[in-house]
Structure 1
Amino acid sequence: MVYVRVDGNVQIGMGHVMRTLSLADAMRKVGLPIYFLMSNQKGEGETAAELVRQRGFDVIEIPYAYQEKDGEIPYLARTLAQFPTVFLVDSYAVTPEYLSALRELGKVVYVDDLCEEIYPVDGILNYNIYAENLPYQERYAENKSLQEKATKLFLGPQYAPIREAFVERRSAMEKEGKQKNGGQPLNVLFTTGGGDSLHILPAIAEDLDKLLDGVTYHFLCGPLSEDGEKLTSMAQMYGPERMVVHGPQENMALFLNRFDLVVSAAGSTLYELCTLGIATIGFSFVENQVQNLAGFAQQVGMPTAGAFDQDMEKAKEKVFMLVREYLQEDEKRQNLANRMASLVDGMGAMRFAQEMKRIHEETRHS
């Protein structure tokens, strides 16, 4: 049994949920039974839990707030079936003490974006572009003396959890032999991911007149966005040839593939955009996106607009400047798309699923 411990809500967004869903899809394909464990105190996680159920996974709801991880251990010990168990944990609200206690119930693999602490776990997943530059090898070599077996390390974009639809779309594009970018009319997408706590999209839309004419600008409202009505009203003012608002998409790969340029927060979406080879301008609006943004800038030359949470106006003006630049230079846009496509092959979730299957088999035989 594999239990995926993850949360999603207005405060923390949906990024953790979306990437674990991609991993869970792959683990299910290799024959692993999957349950999600999700906090839902006072309904705060209902949207995320429903999304998981829609993907065909069972959810065990935990009656604790998502920040109260240590208090949930006795509940999990009473509730979970006594099978050979592996936990996949994706949360910033955990402590080494929590993971150590969870390890009494089964093997633990932790999704760690930061490498700020040494965790008492059986495996670490960090698929981020900067992961191999962090001191995981040194830190977990020291940790080996504390455990019977060394912590397994799954590092770098080769493990990026890309949804199957993106892999299928990339394969179709390769067979068609067509390049996505270029041609008219041009379409640009702005997205912040699952939520938009800083209301970045309305701030950009307010100054849409600063961008090029003859281009349609699209705004994607994630499932946790509170700005749908405001953006829709603004789109009516600009008209459909200038501004279009979209809600959550069933087939995100097909949706994204229509755009010539995307302006995106530096979360998991960047890896999906790489899989499709779509030129992207990146930005951050929370601390955990800063390293990712810098990594993409360094490794594929992605243009970046900076941090909206540090200086909204400065970042917005940089977005406008870069959008104008990349719309006017087709070759520059295509070269960026090609560099991005070479970084991620879309098979990361399946690679990780095979590793989880090996860990699960070790649990059965231990």
Structure 2
Amino acid sequence: MHVYIRVDGSTSIGTGHVMRCVLLAEMLIQAGAAVSFLMRTGQGHLCDWMEQKGFQVFSMREGTFTQSEDADEVIAILNDQARLDWMIVDHYGLDEQWDNKIRPHVRHIAVIDDLANRKHTCKLLLDQNYAPNFEQRYDSLVPSSCQLFLGPSYLLLRPEFLHIRQLVRKRAGNIERLLVFYGGSDPTNETMKVLEALEFSRINGIYVDVVVGNANPVRSAIQEQCARLNFQYHCQIDYLSLLMDGADFSFGAGGVTMWERCYLGLPSVVTIVADNQRESTEATARFGAIWNIGFYDDVCVQDYVNVLHRALINPISMVKMSERALRLLGNSTEAGMHPVVKTILEG
């Protein structure tokens, strides 16, 4: 079986879409499928990094294209391939118009989405987010025959997260280690704002891990700031789960890593850095699994100072947040083949 994945990542888009598709690809490959990626180039793209990881990547032209133009370029690539089983698309700019043009060239289409704001013609749809009425919000957007995998119980998780969850520690609420991570590109530069807040707060006796990706355009400045403040700097790592497990509190964005933090019961303050994160972040905050500090445009350094102070003096709140996060993600796939992978393989 050969699976193709249409996804993009860049400094402006971020890397979350690519990272969750890489995880799904690794699961499929482990189960015996062949996987290829179709990705546009551009500032902060991850094509080279993915090729270094061993994936076959078809690099598409840099720029902005209509759905029809995008589909034409994909079809030109597919026409040179011998086997065309599944096309997985994880892209907010593509909908049923793109699907319908691709359909004659592949057996099945699968969609990964978060927004539930456009129609798709697909056999399978995955939305692993928690949101109001998440089980019904695609009812009018996909064919009745589409298999839906909705909610945190279908969270895509790397094996190390599953292992750590089995051994996850009960958090005492005291903060001795902080984690700062705003995604691979951090287009709103929240990392620097948090570093300023930590410096202003003059925290003593607290170990700080700061994580960035290769797509972060100011990573060198962040590294210099970390060295000056005696914080530990990490770039494009594959051990984020260990840092989450070791941390007592975290600063981060919404999206995939918010769910990973919740899965390990890590208390965190979440900044909404894109409109597509708003609904799930607000719903998760209402559940009590995170603190929502708001949309990045409205968040300043002093806000981060204030929320850190609030966390430091409220260990009971930290314990309760951890418990709520674990409860929210309690039914996530713990072992065995992920249902989406199984469905794709059964084709």
Q: TM-score, normalised by structure 1?
A: 0.84
Match of 2:5 in 1: 4
Q: 2 CA distance for matches of 1:101 and 1:79? A: 14
Amino acid at match of 1:170: R
CA positional deviation for 1:205: 1.9
Q: 2 CA distance for matches of 1:123 and 1:232? A: 42
Q: Write the mapping of 1:176-255 to structure 2, written as runs, cut at 5 A.
A: 178-180=169-171, 182=173, 186-207=176-197, 208-210=199-201, 212-238=203-229, 240=230, 243-255=231-243
Q: Point out the more displaced range, 186-195 or 248-257.
A: 248-257
Amino acid at match of 1:193: G
Q: 2 CA distance for matches of 1:236 and 1:61? A: 36
Q: 2 CA distance for matches of 1:182 and 1:231? A: 28
Unaligned runs of 5+ in 2: none
Deviations 1:36-92 (A, max 9, x none): 11112xx546x4123323443221222353645421333333332242421110011
CA positional deviation for 1:352: 1.7
Match of 2:284 in 1: 296
Q: Point out the more displaced range, 3-12 or 64-73.
A: 64-73
Match of 1:53 in 2: 51
> For the structure 1 residues 78 and 201, does the alpha-carbon distance in structure 2 shift closer, same or farther, using more than 3 Å as the test?
closer
Q: 1 CA distance for matches of 2:46 and 2:207? A: 31
CA positional deviation for 1:268: 0.3
Match of 2:61 in 1: 63
Match of 1:332 in 2: 317
Q: 2 CA distance for matches of 1:136 and 1:33? A: 32
Please point out which of 60, 77, 82 is paired with 1:79. 77
SS at match of 1:321: helix
8 Å CA contact retained: 2:200, 2:305:
no
Q: 1 CA distance for matches of 2:155 and 2:182? A: 19
Q: 1 CA distance for matches of 2:328 and 2:92? A: 26
The percentage of counterpart residues that share the same residue type is 21
Number of residue pairs matched by the alignment: 339
Q: 1 CA distance for matches of 2:64 and 2:236? A: 24
> For the structure 1 residues 84 and 202, does the alpha-carbon distance in structure 2 shift closer, same or farther, using more than 3 Å as the test?
closer
8 Å CA contact retained: 1:73, 1:102:
yes
8 Å CA contact retained: 1:132, 1:155:
no
Please point out which of 347, 350, 361 is paired with 2:333. 347
Match of 2:96 in 1: 96
Which structure: greater helix fraction? Answer: 1
Q: 1 CA distance for matches of 2:238 and 2:138? A: 39
Amino acid at match of 2:258: L
Amino acid at match of 2:204: D
Q: 2 CA distance for matches of 1:334 and 1:93? A: 39
Unaligned runs of 5+ in 1: 145-149, 361-366
SS at match of 1:139: coil
Match of 1:263 in 2: 251
Match of 2:157 in 1: 162
> For the structure 1 residues 212 and 102, does the alpha-carbon distance in structure 2 shift closer, same or farther, using more than 3 Å as the test?
same
> For the structure 1 residues 167 and 319, does the alpha-carbon distance in structure 2 shift closer, same or farther, using more than 3 Å as the test?
same
Q: 1 CA distance for matches of 2:227 and 2:139? A: 56
Match of 1:138 in 2: 139
Q: TM-score, normalised by structure 2?
A: 0.88
CA RMSD of aligned residues (A): 2.5
CA positional deviation for 1:135: 4.4
Q: 1 CA distance for matches of 2:260 and 2:222? A: 25
> For the structure 1 residues 229 and 105, does the alpha-carbon distance in structure 2 shift closer, same or farther, using more than 3 Å as the test?
same
Q: 1 CA distance for matches of 2:222 and 2:323? A: 32
SS at match of 1:218: strand
Q: 1 CA distance for matches of 2:83 and 2:226? A: 53
> For the structure 1 residues 121 and 252, does the alpha-carbon distance in structure 2 shift closer, same or farther, using more than 3 Å as the test?
same
8 Å CA contact retained: 1:38, 1:49:
yes
Determine if the alignment matches structure 1 residue 20 to structure 2 residue 6.
no
> For the structure 1 residues 21 and 131, does the alpha-carbon distance in structure 2 shift closer, same or farther, using more than 3 Å as the test?
farther
